Structure 1
Amino acid sequence: MASFTTEYTPLEEIPKIRTQLRDTFASGLTLPPAYRIQQLRQLARMCQENKDAITDALALDLGKPKIEVLSGEIGHIIARSLHAAEHVHEWTRPEKVEVDTPWQKEWDTRIYRLPKGVVLVIAPWNYPMALALQPLLGAIAAGCCVVIKLSEIAPHHASLLTRLLPQYLDSRAYRIVNGGVPEVTKVLELQWDHIFYTGHSAVARIISAAAAKHLTPLTLELGGKSPVIIDPASDLTLAARRVLYGKFNNAGQICVSPDYVLIHASAKPAFIAALQEACKEWFPNGCLESDDFASIVNPTHHARLKGLLDRTKGQIVMGGRVGEDKNGQMVRMELTVVDGVEEDDVLMEGEIFGPILPIVEVRDIDEAIEFVRARPHPLVLYAFTQNDEVRRKILLRTTSGNITFNDTVMQLSVNELPFGGVGESGHGRQIQKWSFDIFSYERSYVDIPPHVEPGLSHRYPPYDDRAMAMMSAATNIEIPTDEIAGGGVEELL
């Protein structure tokens, strides 16, 4: 694949793009379900017909193995676009609401799910295809017009998608903005009907402040330090393989990557040995020499990760080597495990977002839970246990966007579950129907027929005793006597 230079969008063009999309939305072009279905199928065709070009672009930007791109980016978008196309009629169908109040029974009450309008998607560099197009397909299904701000840190992908999108999708409704800080600053000066941002919490604060000026609703897909709690009684070999799988994907540059492990001293040696054995099995010649292991995105991020290893007080028990990739354009770092990490270590200061896995020793599951509770809520909490009581304790005493037992990363493949953060790891939910819900809103509809007027006549003054009795009736409702206070939590599970 040839290398292309991404042209940044002229600043003066950005407000014009937004205005053009507002005119398109006002015209009603994107409202018919048939239009949305056709555009969703076109999105799937774009990914399918250009999968080789996409994998080449992400190899140049991230050194991503082809299998990771096909499975983790292109395949998801094709399948989810087609799923959304199949369900657009179902998702947009008005819902008849049956009311309980007797005197409202003859009213026509419904819920319409209508598009919010012209929305903005700000995509990251680590999964540049999936995390740009996943929100896009939800917005298409909802009937919105969309501007996607692509990451300048993945320029080959940005150049490719900028050329491909108008070949497959309607440019009257879906546009791309490219650039860095000046361009995204200009974008955020404008009013949008929704903003979907995937990235870092520090940038999310800037975006939130900009959105607040226009009271723009937000979806924030952030990250944070997603912990792994390991029950010593679990299968440590299986746990090690599954944790390492989550850490090696895209060289740990994924928001749901397991960030650190909490484990009892008695289980730690066997767990570390299993990590080492799995790494040796998967990469017999080393990670740096393997085509199955991604690069670090650029020298700046590599220097940050190397700095963490240089400053940690823990002991490197696996990996630690760095090097260039085969074409010498990107830097690499092998899967690295660091033992003896204390809670004040540099590796525990922020999200690692790379192939480094700290091991933190705890006395028991209770201490592991308190360790997690003392920190910002993670995007995902992973735990390995077959003990129902341990599972219940972790579920009810911690807070995270998602919780996954006995594996890592695979929760992303469950299309029927919502995905998103809580607190510092973001807010809002996406994937399939949940993505449609993000970009639509529920508009309640009431039609009160003329013939019920006699039953409403008491609302008009002058008020008499009958009006007072009828309009104050709710204040006299009998409140049930409380049963036994407290009780167990079993009903929550």
Structure 2
Amino acid sequence: MASSTTSNMAFTRLTAAYASGRTRPLSWRRAQLDALRRLVMDNREDFVAAVAADLGKPAGETVLMELNLVADEARFVRNRLSVWAARHPKPMPWALQPAAGWTIAEPKGVVLVISPWNYPVLLALAPVADALTAGNAVCLKPSELAPNTARLLSELVPQYLDREAVCVVEGGPKETGDLLKAPFDHIFYTGGERVGKIVMKAAAEHLTPVTLELGGKSPCFVDGTADLNVAARRIAWGKFTNAGQTCVAPDYVLATPDVAERLAKRMAVAVTEFFGEHPQTSVDYGRIVNDRHMERLIGLLPAGTVPSAEPSSPLIKAASAVGAAVEMVGRRIGAGAAGDDTTAAVSAGRVVCGGTVDRKARYIAPTVLYGTSPDAPVMQEEIFGPILPILVVKDADEAIAFINGRPKPLAAYVFSRDRGTRLAFERRTSSGALGFDLPLGHLLSSRLPFGGVGASGMGTYHGKAGFDTFSHLKTVVAKPSFPDTLGLVYPPFDEAKRQLIELIAKLS
């Protein structure tokens, strides 16, 4: 795929634009944010068509979860820009008086935004909005796995935004690699952990700061105090939006024995309410991005669920899913942890709903698995698809131990009305975000920082957090020449000055 702008030319042009000072005035930033908002709103139908061609994503999802969020982010940061960019006075110690101190946010310079395929508009343009708010020149590298959206972005961005200071570079790994060789002033990457390490290694060559928005297995805990009808619907919505291809979607559920099976059945009901008896015919349900991810996800389904067939075969129905799944000898995670010597057989779980695929259409039905064991293949990697395993745990303590024994997730969700349980998750687990009775909520707000921790990423954005990420917070101090009170501590240090220094130390 030919680049709309070659990597070297892009960096050179952006560097010249930033050096000219054109991106610094607040008027320029506001104009770019207004134009960015018009870009997504004027071309709504084109974006809907492009995302549908790339992902099979429903129009409503694209508008609600991508276009509207970009427009909201651009409006939110624009309206607060003058306050964020202003001087912020800071008190100075009395020993330096008379003196003044303040901080001011300055642009980092020329920044690179590398976006993923799963939300190809939102995760491309929302970081760009934050970078423009901070006054940077911006190079956007959209994902080659969403080629129609990438092409549309490369066509529209020069029409709406300052083409000297903002550009789009299309292409695949080669173009991304070429961009990473340039000494950008900040790199913002959204995607998987493997490429995240490559980005960070390349950034280290130039000591370039990075923001990594990665992923991981985001857990969801449900206990007997939760409203199961509400929990089932909200978890199903959070999981099966974009066919499960959301970085902060619930990856698996940890449920206590009194509610686990009932929750699984109610989630099956919720799936039917959302997408009908045959989700493949629903206009509100998406598709898997490509054949490679399709085969990876099929490999995570219970053995025997998907009969052997040619890749071009028609709809493959689950064949005796309950019998095909290996029944667990013990369904509780960590059996033996509390004196129980029973061990659990490795099981992907019993299919409660879904389990059907159509390779040719890149369709996997919304699938809920009940009784999955921790050692099952579906629990060894981020699922990033419409498969939701439900594991049984004794209580919240066991769920917390299970979560803490694994890499820190991008998000965690808790459905419990017990205050002690909520506090335990808030204080004893670490995740990029924590949601009580609500998945995806933090993704939808410009007022809340969004980001990961540990293996799920570093750095945050959205709103003020995004402005801070793409800014350097510079400290400024000023002291008048008269009176020159520093003369009191200039050398040579006689006895009087030594006593004065000691007094200053005691008063500090």
- Residue 341 of structure 1 deviates from its aligned partner by 1.1
Aligned AA (2:406): R
- Residue 460 of structure 1 deviates from its aligned partner by 2.1
Aligned with residue 40 of structure 1, among 25, 30, 33: 33
Are positions 1:194 and 2:189 aligned together? no
Are positions 1:270 and 2:301 aligned together? no
**Displaced runs of 4+ in structure 1, greater than 4 A?**
474-478
SS at 1:178 equivalent: coil
Aligned AA (2:8): P
CA distance in 2, matches of 1:476, 1:92: 37
CA distance in 2, matches of 1:356, 1:380: 17
Q: Deviations over 1:4-37 (max 9, x none)?
A: xx63357xx3122111111111110011100100
Contact 1:227–1:262 (Cα < 8 Å) also in 2: yes
Aligned AA (1:358): P
- 1:29 maps to 22
CA distance in 2, matches of 1:9, 1:471: 63
SS at 1:450 equivalent: coil
* Aligned residue runs from structure 1 range 304-453, under 5 A: 304-311=296-303, 313-323=348-358, 330-453=361-484
Aligned AA (2:487): S
- 2:87 maps to 94
Query: TM-score with structure 1 length normalisation?
Result: 0.92
Distance 1:474 1:389, change over 3 A: farther
CA distance in 2, matches of 1:259, 1:354: 9
- Residue 475 of structure 1 deviates from its aligned partner by 5.1
CA distance in 2, matches of 1:211, 1:436: 21
SS at 1:228 equivalent: strand
Are positions 1:285 and 2:268 aligned together? no
Are positions 1:245 and 2:237 aligned together? yes
SS at 1:261 equivalent: strand
CA distance in 2, matches of 1:258, 1:357: 8
- Residue 474 of structure 1 deviates from its aligned partner by 5.6
Contact 2:95–2:504 (Cα < 8 Å) also in 1: no
CA distance in 2, matches of 1:283, 1:116: 46
CA distance in 2, matches of 1:80, 1:133: 9
Aligned AA (2:365): E
Q: Deviations over 1:284-325 (max 9, x none)?
A: 23211111000000111111000111556322121011126x
Aligned with residue 148 of structure 1, among 136, 140, 145: 140
Contact 2:257–2:393 (Cα < 8 Å) also in 1: yes
- 1:14 maps to 7
CA distance in 2, matches of 1:391, 1:50: 43
CA distance in 1, matches of 2:367, 2:452: 27
CA distance in 1, matches of 2:284, 2:71: 23
SS at 1:309 equivalent: coil
Mark the runs of 5 or more structure 1 residues left unpaired by the alignment: 1-5, 479-493
- 2:500 maps to 470
Aligned with residue 73 of structure 1, among 49, 66, 69: 66
Aligned with residue 53 of structure 1, among 13, 38, 46: 46
Aligned AA (1:459): V
Q: Deviations over 1:184-241 (max 9, x none)?
A: 1111111110000000011111111111111111111111000001122211111111
Q: Deviations over 1:253-278 (max 9, x none)?
A: 01000000001122112111111111
Mark the runs of 5 or more structure 2 residues left unpaired by the alignment: 304-346
CA distance in 2, matches of 1:55, 1:293: 14
CA distance in 1, matches of 2:506, 2:83: 42
Contact 2:90–2:101 (Cα < 8 Å) also in 1: yes
Are positions 1:224 and 2:194 aligned together? no
Query: TM-score with structure 2 length normalisation?
Result: 0.89
Distance 1:166 1:467, change over 3 A: same
Distance 1:268 1:310, change over 3 A: closer
Are positions 1:169 and 2:200 aligned together? no
Contact 1:9–1:183 (Cα < 8 Å) also in 2: no
- 2:321 maps to none
SS at 1:360 equivalent: strand
Contact 2:116–2:124 (Cα < 8 Å) also in 1: yes
Contact 1:288–1:322 (Cα < 8 Å) also in 2: no
Contact 2:51–2:148 (Cα < 8 Å) also in 1: yes
CA distance in 2, matches of 1:21, 1:73: 27
CA distance in 2, matches of 1:91, 1:476: 36
- Residue 166 of structure 1 deviates from its aligned partner by 0.3
Q: Which moved more, 1:74-83 or 1:46-55?
A: 74-83
Cα RMSD (Å): 1.5
Q: Deviations over 1:381-410 (max 9, x none)?
A: 100011111111111111111000011112
SS at 1:165 equivalent: helix
What is the count of residue pairs matched by the alignment?
465
Contact 1:108–1:448 (Cα < 8 Å) also in 2: yes
SS at 2:451 equivalent: coil
Q: Deviations over 1:137-184 (max 9, x none)?
A: 001010000001110000000111100000000110001111111111
Aligned AA (1:367): E
CA distance in 2, matches of 1:31, 1:280: 52
Contact 1:458–1:466 (Cα < 8 Å) also in 2: no
- 2:176 maps to 184
CA distance in 1, matches of 2:459, 2:60: 29
* Aligned residue runs from structure 1 range 453-464, under 5 A: 453=484, 455-464=485-494
